Amino acid sequence: MFLALVAAATVAIVVPITVFGFPAGRSDPESFAHVWTNPANGNTTQLHIDADPTNGTRPCDPIDLTRTVQVGDTYDVALCLESYATNEVKAFKLRVYYDDINESPTLAGTPPMLNLNPDANDGNDDVTGRTLGNNWDCSGFGFLPPRGDDPNTPCEDEWGRPIYPCLDATIACNADVLTPDLDLTANPGLLATVQFTATGEGTEALTWGGDTQVGGPDVNLPDGGFAYCGADVPEDQVGCFGATINKVVFDCVWEDSFGSGTYLGLLGNEWEFGYPEGTLSGTGRVMRFGDRAFVLGRGEGFYVAGFGTCPVGPGMAFGLVSGPPPFFLRVQDVTGADLDD
């Protein structure tokens, strides 16, 4: 009922808020060319999960379909809105399903609960148009705080049979009712991020809950109103695209020996350069000669190079990120060496 209360308070729209539907986690390459259209109703608005918000120019640009992380990694994904009416997003309720080889913490806090987990895009980015704006609240008037896993979602049906997936991160936010500051114009725009820790090996599909919705009064829908992932409001249903997270134990990893928190991991021809604020990853340009490996990687806005002994160091790796601002990363793994040398 949270978004219904918001809608009634603003006297902008009145919508049925309880939506039952299917989680949508499919991928459609056309959506990433910004030409996707819902064949059922003509809507072009889309919700995406960006698997790696640390690369590119900002979260949601580009939108990454997949990401590889090491078991034990803590990482974020971004929840993005594309092809919407700018400066019109007043409220949203987001639900992301995940499986039991992930953990997503629920953090304690007091209203407005903007920077918990999930973490709303509340204005920490000073670039105009990239944030929701000021004076937002994500506490559900104190009754629906952000949750890394919503305890109200059942994991068994009435006969005791398991429901899968049942782990879900949730957040519901609204702009100030009387003086809304609606700043979001970036396309795709960031609504929130979710933090996870990979607890086991495997491939996971992150998907949207059917009750996910974003409110306007206009989000580029034919009749205005809310954008829904669920199918109970067919005329307002939009494209809801998930992401895939590959959780691996690297076959070769070099970890910094001097407390920087950086590492370079290899799995076959894939590589991941990790640092405390994020990861850089890609596929290709890995050369192996016996127990030696060399990496020359390049992505959008960054370069990675490394060499060393497998399956562990010693090894050395470097990363150059163009920014802004540009910054330099280093891994110096002296495993097996004398630190006094």
pLDDT recorded at residue 32: 43
pLDDT at 231: 82
CA neighbor of 198 nearest in space, from 71, 49, 51: 71
Distance CA 260, CA 329 (A): 9
Q: Over pLDDT 90: what percentage of the chain?
A: 48
How far is CA 236 from each of CA 47, 80, 184, 241, 293, rounded to the nearest angstrom?
13, 18, 21, 16, 51
DSSP letter (8 states) at residue 57 = S
Residue 62 CB: number of other CB atoms within 10 A?
Answer: 17
Of the CA atoms within 13 Å of residue 47, those in its CB half-sphere come to 32
Contact of 47 with 31, CB cutoff 8 Å: no
Q: Please list, in sequence order, all residues whose beta carbon lies within 8 angstroms of the beta carbon of residue 100, skipping any fewer than 6 positions away.
A: 167, 199, 200
Beta strands 239-241 and 74-82: pairing type? unpaired
Q: Which domains does the chain have, with CATH numbers?
A: 2-247 (2.60.40.680), 250-333 (no CATH)
Is the Cβ–Cβ distance between 254 and 246 less than 8 Å? no
Phi then psi for residue 81, to 5 deg, are: -120, 130
Distance CA 96, CA 166 (A): 10
Give residue-wise pLDDT tens across range 33-91: 457 888 888 888 999 999 988 877 889 988 988 888 889 889 999 999 999 888 889 99
Find the mean pLDDT for residues 292-296. Answer: 96
Q: How many other C-beta atoms are found inside a 10 Å radius of the C-beta of residue 164?
A: 10
For residue 128, count CB atoms less than 10 angstroms from its CB and return exposed for 0-12, middle for 13-18, buried for 19 or more: exposed
Q: What is the DSSP string of 276-287?
A: TTEEEEEE--EE
Q: Which two tokens stand for residue 231?
A: 């199918």
Task: Write out the two tokens for 11.
Answer: 């006297």
pLDDT tens, residue by residue, 194-207: 999 999 999 999 99
Mean pLDDT of 127-148: 90
The number of CA neighbours under 13 Å toward the Cβ of 134 is 3
Residue 246's CB: how many other CB atoms inside 10 A? 17
Bond before 325 cis per omega within 30 degrees: yes
Q: Of 22-36, 73-87, 121-135, give the range with the top mean pLDDT.
A: 73-87
Task: Tell me the pTM.
Answer: 0.76
Looking at every residue in the chain, the average pLDDT score rounds to: 83
Burial of 332 (0-12, 13-18, 19+ CB in 10 A): middle
